[in-house]
A = this chain, B = another copy of it.
Amino acid sequence: MPSSRRITLKDLARELGVSTATVSNAFNRPDQLSPKLREHILTEAQRLGYSGPDAQARSLRTGRSRIIAVILAESLTYSLNDAVSSELLSGIAEVLDTRGHTLLLLSGRQNAASVPGASSIADGFIIYGLMPSLKLLSDLPAERPLVAVDFSIEDHANVHIDNEPACYAIARHALKVPTRRPAVVNLRLTEQPCNGRIGDGQTLLPAERTITRARLAGFQRAFVEAGIDPAEVPMWNIEENTFDVCTPVIEEILDLPDAERPDLLLCMSDRIALTVLTLAEQRGLRIPEDLRITGFDGIAEGQYRAPQLTTVRQDSTEKGRIAARMILGMEPAEPRVMATELLIGDTCP
């Protein structure tokens, strides 16, 4: 009895009087040895408490770990609580799981230091959202597959939606009903952090930097088409897509004097729209008579409620599935645009 130490493939081989290669083959290449011997090795392994080749050592030797890393632009805390990124992760996990791969979660934001470390371990990378530092990407091993989600990296596959047309469509829908005071609630759109009204001082992020810029462009096209000067439409900005961060800004909007309060709010996310809805209901505003609201994303929370949110649905779960399948080589790794769907609910019929 060698005892104490965990039993290894080598121990097992010695015990059985065969070579380590044969034991390895018993686990990995059944055709390389007689069925009888294989059976014997497997049962002995079981008996001695050997539960298969060590993943660590195997990965070192083979260069494959069956681990796919998802690198999230936001913090893990945010990403796990946000419905959109949760759905994405869920889609990814679903596909990986069926193919025997596992999911390693990394944030490019907080502890970006652990990314290069962990990077050498993963077989492939799914990058969600534009990283604060693109430098991080250059640390990833060039030979392993990489799929960008909701943005694009040169020479790599990606999955995303077409934000501008989607927002044009919902704004056009909303503007069918005459509006006196439309307004837009943006999501992280300003160069400098700004949680509130966007005034003359602020400059917007460069267009290539953000998907929300494309969403705004869609809204604005619809405004122009409806004969409204986009420059006249008041805009607010939200720094983080959470209820807590939205609240003060939405309160500022809803607590404007009646004559100034918008009667239509185009929001860049369902989270924002739901915050508007909750706070508006608390203030006794009638939806949609006093205030029409649109969101973006189509998260469950906005649909499984009364009144139901009018929004654009993007299938984040499917987006995750596609990204995962591309990484695993189950479908061609190329730039891909997904369709969106206009969901007309009760908040802006």
Contacts and interface: CB of A to CB of B under 8 A. Distances in A.
SS class of chain A's interface: helix, strand, loop or mixed? Answer: helix
Contacts of A93: 76-77, 80, 105, 107
B90 A80 contact: yes
Interface string A139-152: 10101000000000
Interface stretch (A117-125, A196-204, A254-262, A326-334): A117-125
A286 B90 CA distance: 36
As for how many copies of this chain the complex holds, the number is 2
Interface string A86-115: 110111011001101111111100110110
How big is chain A's contact interface, by range?
35 or more
A56 B55 CA distance: 10
A3 interface: no
A282 interface: yes
A301 interface: yes
A81 interface: yes
A107 B90 CA distance: 12
A118 B104 CA distance: 11
Contacts of A301: 301
A193 interface: no
